[in-house]
Every structure is written in structure tokens, then in C-alpha cells.
Amino acid sequence: MKAYINGKIYTGDKILSDHCVLAENGKVFDLVERSAIPAHIETIDLKGRLLAPAFIDLQIYGGNGHLFGEFPSVEALKATYAYCLSGGATQFLPTVATNSEAVMFAAIDAVREYWRQGGHGVPGLHLEGPYINPAKRGAHISEFIQQPTLDGVKKLLSYGEGVIKMITLAPEVCPDEVIDFLLQQDIVLSAGHTNANYRQAMTAFEKGLKTATHLFNAMSALQHREPGMVGAIFDHPDVRVSMVADGHHVDFPVIRLTKKLLGERLFLITDAVTESLNGRYSHRLQGDKYVIADGTLSGSALTMIQAVRNCVHHVGIPLEEALRMASLYPAQIIGLDREFGRIEPGFAESFVVLNDQGDLVSVIN
């Protein structure tokens, strides 16, 4: 057993300034006052800093020069995990943008092998496509977009059983039988790269889609005579949606307005890629964002801690809420909220340590 002492503890609900965290065998054992720490226990001095739940990134394509979404491998997963840890995320969903069946199957194989080798931090795979609307493909490659059929979807999910955790799709291009089948599986369906009108979007949400992908980006816009996918997300009481808080995908004042409307339904992703000049998906760093050859925005250069800091410093979201947007809310989306996203007994010993400026000092995992 060990004790984290001499710091502030953000539990996921409140900040405690007079408590310590006891941890044992990778789990939080208890939160106690300093005077209640058992004798002769190992102590970790937080030096007055803030201990908070580690982050979870539900959409990231690669890191440290390894673009997993294009060249899936165990090595790419290890490199992406290291990148995630550098930004405070101890859990992530490696993501494959619309691609060939061969690449998707290779990504599934890579995750399985990563697990077999004892790899950490990957609860599953996020497929962003291939069932998207060509009108909202963004930087996705049109030739890989598929019209979903029940047989094709069953083949993909059969191969990816136990690995595929999340699928981003355009609900308006999916037959009812496909949506109904997908909703019966143990995966998260997220509306994205979609040109659905308001009625189509609300129908999908009422069927059971409860999540949407990178709000405003690659989706039908809010118009005063056609509210579109954005309007449906705003209007539905339960749908949760990710956002890329880098100031490029969405301007900071828009994030502020959106947060007022959505409250706890808004959560953070990085949507990060890494420089890759080979393959069909090439990403070139331009300032603090990535673009493809024609200049189209193709991904962020964010880490999760930078997304949190942007929400605090450029949007005005309180630190505690920004931390929940990066930890608790993503955990809830993928069903990990009994293990991650809070510091309380029974939860994982998976923390970030922040200084008074909100900088990441260390990651405990």
C-alpha cells in the first residue's frame, strides 16, 4: 500500500485539500485524512499539486510518427500510447478513418496482438467509417466509403468481435436493419461524417444512437430553416458529443456557447494524427494542426492536457469541469466509469498530477 500525501485531491466531484489517497495493487483503497494514514506506509509527496483522474481519449489515429490508422501495428499502438501518456491519457481508442477492409482487419489484428503481449491502455478500437456520407467525408478518402449492408456489417463485426468498441457512421446512409443490428451489439454508435437532416438525426437518436462525433465538423450545420445534425444534437436531451478543442476545428467562442447549451453532454477528444507523408492518408504539420496535400484540415496536434488547458484558458470552463470532460465523461461513453474518471475506493490508480498553472507534471498509471 502507498499514500499520496501533501496535495489537493480532485475526486471527479470536488477538490479535497485535507485528504490523502491510499492505493494498493493498482486500485484506490481509500481517501483518508493525513492523521489516519497507517504507520510505515510508503508515501508519495505531491508537493501541494493537484491529483486528478487520468484522461481518456476516444479518438486518436496515431502518435510519435506512427500513424496507426493507416499502418496498424503493435509498434504503432505502443508509440500512440506513449503519446497519450505525454498528455495525461492512460486509456485511448486507436482510431481508423474510412479505409479498406484489409486495413480495418489489420487494425483489429494489431489490437489483439497488443493485448496478447500485455499492452495497456487500449479498451478497444474506434472505426470512424467506412459507413459515412460522401458529402461530409472531410479528409476521408471517397473510394473507401461503403454503402452498408447487413451481410457486410456482420462480416466486419464478426472479425472484430471483442475489439471494435466504437463506430462512427452516418445514420442516413444506413438501412434500418443495419442500425437495428448494430444497436444490439456491445459497441458505441456515434453519428458523424453525416449530412442527415434534423428529422433523420432525431430518428436515429430515438432509435438508440446516443453519441455524435466531433461536433460541427463533417456534419450538417444548424440552419434556421433546417436545423440539421447540429440542431438535433442541441435539441435532444440525452445525446453526448465529442469536440476537438484546438481552436481550429471549432473556434473558442463557439465552444463556450456550445458548453452553455450542452453542459455535461460535451466531452473532449484530441482527434490527433501524426506526421505521415506516405500512404493514402498523408498528414503534414502546419503550425499547430495537420492538413492533407490540398490544405484540408485532417487532424489535430492536441494532447488531452492541451485540450483541457484550452477549455480553461480560452473558453472559460472551470478546471474541475474541463477535467471531467477529459476523464469522467469519456469513461461513461464507453462503460469504464466504474473504474476510471474518479478517485474513490475501487477505482484504478490512474492519475494525473497538475501544478497551479494547470500544467501536467506527471502521470501515475
CATH number, domain with residue 248:
3.20.20.140
Nearest alpha carbon to residue 120 among 150, 94, 156, 149: 94
Domain-embedded: residue 340: no
> Is the domain of 9 the same as that of 115?
no
Counting the structural domains of the chain, the total is 2
> Is the domain of 144 the same as that of 291?
yes
> Is the domain of 254 the same as that of 358?
no
CATH number at residue 355: 2.30.40.10
Residue-averaged pLDDT of the chain:
97
Is residue 269 predicted with pLDDT exceeding 90? yes
Structural domain for 37, as ranges: 2-52+345-364
Position 65 scores a pLDDT of 95
Spacing of C-alpha 129 from chain mean position? 16
Position 299 scores a pLDDT of 94
> Is the domain of 47 the same as that of 62?
no
> Is the domain of 270 the same as that of 350?
no
Position 31 scores a pLDDT of 97
User: Whole-prediction pTM value?
Assistant: 0.97
Q: For residue 271, indicate whether it is catalytic.
A: yes
> Is the domain of 231 the same as that of 310?
yes
pLDDT confidence of 34, banded at 50, 70, 90?
confident
> Average pLDDT for residues 112-135, to the nearest whole number?
98
Is residue 189 predicted with pLDDT exceeding 90? yes
Position 235 scores a pLDDT of 98
Task: List residues bridging with 338 in a β-sheet.
Answer: none
| pLDDT tens string 66-103 | 999 999 999 999 999 999 999 999 999 999 999 999 99
> Average pLDDT for residues 313-337, to the nearest whole number?
98
Residues in Cβ contact with 219 at an 8 Å cutoff, skipping those fewer than 6 apart: 136, 191, 192, 193, 194, 195, 196, 212, 228, 229, 230
Q: Which of 18, 271, 288, 294 is catalytic?
A: 271
Is residue 227 predicted with pLDDT exceeding 90? yes
Read off the amino acid at residue 352. Answer: V
> Is the domain of 32 the same as that of 174?
no
| pLDDT tens string 277-309 | 888 898 999 999 999 888 889 999 999 999 999
> Is the domain of 125 the same as that of 146?
yes
